[in-house]
Structure 1
Amino acid sequence: MRGRKISRGQFLTGAAAVGIAGTAGGILTGRGTHRAEATEPGQAARRGHRGLTYRGVGYEVADGETPHTGWNAARMRKDLRVIRRDLGANSVSVFGDGVDRLKATSTQAAEEGLHVWLQPRLADRPHKEILEHLAETGRHAERLRKQGAAVHLSVGCEFVLFVPGIVPGANALERIENLTQGNFDPVMMRKRLRAFIAKSAKTARSVFGGRITYGAAEGDEVDWSLFDLVSVNYYAYFPHRADHVRELRTYQRWGKPVVVSEFGTCTYRGAPEKGGMGWDAVDYEKEPPEIISGLVRSERTQAAYLADLLDIFESMNLYAALAYQFVTPDAPHRTERRYDLDMASYSLVKPLWQSKDEPGREWHWEPKESFRAVAGHFGRA
């Protein structure tokens, strides 16, 4: 994996994709309920509600790999308007590190009338710093909630990959490598993961009075009694609809609202079959990086996968589903296939840089077929 430059967001599904959850003894646990769910529209019975309550997309607030591809306030405001008005979403997952960026983006989303999932993701830092980052984010979420905004707080995402000390490795790449090669102690991993999830839930409860959850990988062992909502980052591929339904029903057994906190696929033929490892389609040993040979760009493949899953989520009356993700600025679309990094992207829009090598200050994006497919579904719903 030497020389690979991949944004944090691209590792969100690594554990599920490489079978780590199964190795970890992936059995969902937690039969209790932390607090009453009587008035929650997403509870198991849903009081006759049909379909999803919240339909949205993920929006990352991160530093970029160039001076012009990182978080930008003006771009953020424009993007959120598009998410609300053109994509037709009623919800957005604001995730990433940097409390100021999280605050500004979630505040703007609330002002746009969007329901907000606020999820801090400070990675590869000491546990104390990660929990302090969560607490500060949670305090802001509480201020938004008290001001009347609709907001839920997620304590984080797939801690096995992003939190040091649960498995060996200095960063997500090294942890994925150690997990896939079996260089870890499954018993200790489960123990450490449970402990850090519990600390995160306690931290969130101490600062936030609304509903909380955790962005789990498929099959993660989670004590869901600590949370109000069951959330899963879902990148599964099955040839038949019934298989998806069977898989997702395992999350409904706890009698709590079920959130698909992420779902999506990349932009080439065969990407859905690769699940959460679809991003692993770039040869970073080459300069500049190239899409691996044999892959064929297909916006239709991405669009069809998202549309099919949304139909399934609606039919199961899940609480929420959030497509991953709106834009990946550092994965530009290029006309020459081997340099078209957008093929390895999950985003609903394709970044267009001002030149092959430089985004420039005026880079922009255009919607992909997946954007139109998701917008069409949201509009019908």
Structure 2
Amino acid sequence: MEKSNGTSRARFLAGAAAVGVSAALLPTGRAARAAEAGVTEGAAGGPRRGLRHRGVVYTVGAGGTPATGFSAERMRADLRVIRDALHADTVDVTGDGVARLTATAAEAAERGLHVWLQPTPADLPQRDILDHLAETGRFAERLRRQGASVDLSVGCEFWLFVPGIVPGATVLERVRNLLEGHVDPVAVQRRLDAFTARAAAVGRSVFHGRLGYAAAQDDEVDWRLFDVVGIDYYSAFRDHAAHRRELRRYLRWGKPLAITEFGTCAYVGAPEAGGMGWDVVDPETGEVRAGLVRSERTQAAYVADLVDVFSSMDLYAAMAFEFVTPDSPHRPDDPRHDLDLGSYALTRTVQDRPGDPASDWHWEPKEAFHALARRYAHERRRTRVRPRSGA
């Protein structure tokens, strides 16, 4: 997601406990037992090996300044890099603006990438959000009928982005109410369930491929509404077994599991901060917290480690968060204004005129970019000979 949404998402993850979220009841049976053992089934009924879709989140949006707004030329160049240098076969096209979303999805499909199309407008009336979903979904269906590999996600963490579920007219107001406990958890869950069901119905009415949703780890979701379970995953454990134990609870639905976000920031201690890793910039002064030690190696190791976990569990998809965050420029000569420290991006944004919001910019790969590229290239070699069913 773009920076504003990413910030809000992280605040929401921290506030999830305040609304008393509990685990949903899960189905039992053969599929559940297989999932508990860490085995998923392929189209022919046998076990699949490796990560099926290797992806990255690519956010479209208006940007925080005119200089960081959506550019079709940049988007096309970025998608080439995602496919050819990052060795991803999937792009999570997310953000708002139907024209931006559909143009990016079409370009990705044209380049042979699998598309996880996920509109995430925020702070609009619920009816407008559903209309935005319907229009995006109709385009996804046209792509699918033309032979593109595409899944539709009806959105991301609705109780954060959709007004009327958690009290508050804006994302930040809802965040504040969550963190301060000014919510009725029973009422919140009831409203969340109702909107999720409406969104799933809208998605089904316009799109006839795989339908999914991106939930925070502790969300209570009726996954019977969807074909793919989608989880934004930011846990930090010292060993793979702990990650696998946590992820297996989502496999008990007997449905494909997509990791719709994973990643961390590039400083020492960021993985342990989880979804709050971004929270190192003072919103009043715009200054980075003193004492942080920049470490791209920390970010790279975390990302690579999680790909190994996801591959070992034969998951449906994993999408690293995120490719680039234009509104968080890197300032190596000014650590207190190095906003990239609060970014989960695999690349660092470099302004031609540092500190000038109107400056043009370019991105450079971080160590995490190269680490992910190596892992994805390895996954591609592992799975190349394995026949795949249509998405």
Fold-level similarity (TM above 0.5): yes
CA contact (8 A) 1:29 1:222 kept: no
Residue 6 of structure 1 and its aligned partner are, at CA, apart by 5.5
> How far apart are residue 25 of structure 1 and its match?
2.8
* Aligned twin of 1:160: 159
Once the two structures are superposed, residues 112-138 of structure 1 have per-residue CA deviations (whole angstroms, 9 ceiling, x without a partner) of 110000001111111100000000000
SS of the aligned residue for 2:131 comes to: helix
Deviation of the 1:358 alpha carbon: 2.1
Contact 1:333–1:341 (8 Å) recurs in 2: yes
The partner residue of 1:354 within 344, 352, 355 is 352
1:124-163 to 2 correspondences below 5 Å:
124-163=123-162
Kindly state the Cα deviation for residue 219 of structure 1 after the two structures are TM-superposed. Answer: 1.4
What amino acid sits opposite 1:203 in the alignment?
A: V
Which residue, out of 292, 304, 320, partners 2:301?
304
Runs of at least 5 residues in structure 2 that lack an aligned partner in the other structure? 30-37, 380-391
Paired position in structure 1 for 2:341: 343
**8 Å CA contact retained: 1:87, 1:371:** yes
Match of 2:24 among 28, 31, 52: 28
Structure 1 residues 6 and 284: alpha-carbon distance in aligned structure 2, compared to 1, 3 A threshold: farther
Corresponding residue to 1:313 among 310, 315, 336: 310
In 2: Cα distance, 1:330 partner to 1:182 partner: 30
Q: How many residues align?
A: 366
Letter in 2 for 1:225: R
For structure 1, the 5+ residue unaligned runs are 34-41
SS in 2 for 1:282: coil
| Amino acid in structure 1 at the alignment position of 2:52 | T
Contact preservation (8 Å) 1:29, 1:224: no
Q: Residues 3 and 327 of structure 2 are in contact (CA less than 8 Å); yes or no, is this contact kept in structure 1?
A: no
Question: Structure 2 matches for 1:164-243, cutoff 5 A?
Answer: 164-243=163-242
> Closer, same or farther in 2 for the Cα pair 1:43/1:135, shift >3 Å?
farther
- Checking the alignment, whether the CA contact within 8 Å between 2:353 and 2:359 is kept in structure 1 is no
What displacement does 1:359 show?
5.3
Q: Percent same amino acid among aligned pairs?
A: 57
- Structure 1 residues 91-106: aligned runs within 5 Å: 91-106=90-105
Partner of 1:367: 365
Residues 1:21 and 1:222: Cα distance change in structure 2 (over 3 Å): farther
The 5 Å alignment of 1:263-302 reads 263-286=262-285, 289-302=286-299
> 1:331: which partner in 2?
328
The residue type paired with residue 254 of structure 2 is G
- Residue matched to 2:247: 248
When normalised by structure 1's length, the TM-score is: 0.93
Q: Distance in 2 between matches of 1:22 and 1:231?
A: 22
Residue type of the partner of 2:40? A
Check 1:22–1:169 CA distance in 2 against 1; reply closer, same or farther (3 A cut): closer
Which residue in 2 is equivalent to 1:52?
51
Deviations along 1:42-94, one digit per CA (max 9) or x if unpaired, are 99323231011000100000111111101100000000000000000000000
Aligned counterpart for 1:16 among listed residues 13, 16, 19: 13
Asked if 2 retains the 8 angstrom alpha-carbon contact of 1:351 and 1:363, the reply is yes
Structure 1 residue 291, shift from structure 2 partner = 0.6
Does the 8 Å contact 1:12/1:157 carry over to 2?
no
What TM-score comes out, normalization by structure 2 length? 0.90
Higher deviation after alignment, 172-181 or 124-133? 172-181
Tell me the CA shift for residue 150 of structure 1. 0.1
1:115 alignment partner in structure 2? 114
